[in-house]
Amino acid sequence: MTWDWAMITILVLIIISGIFSLLGAIGLHRFPDVYTRLHAATKTTTFGSIFLAIAVIVYSIFRITEVGPENDGAFITLAAHTFIALLAILITNPTGAHAIARAARKTGIAPEQAVIDEYEEVD
Instruction: For 53, list phi and psi in degrees, rounded to 5.
Output: -65, -40
What is the separation, in whole angstroms, between the first and last Cα of the chain? 66
Its pTM surpasses 0.95: no
**Which of these ranges, 24-33, 61-70, 74-83, 105-114, has the smallest mean pLDDT?**
61-70
Per-residue confidence at 123, pLDDT binned at 50, 70, 90?
very low
Give CA–CA dist 25/44, Å, rounded.
9
CB 42 within 8 A of CB 97: yes
For residue 122, pLDDT over 70 is answered with no
Which residues have C-beta within 8 Å of that of residue 114, sequence separation ≥ 6? none
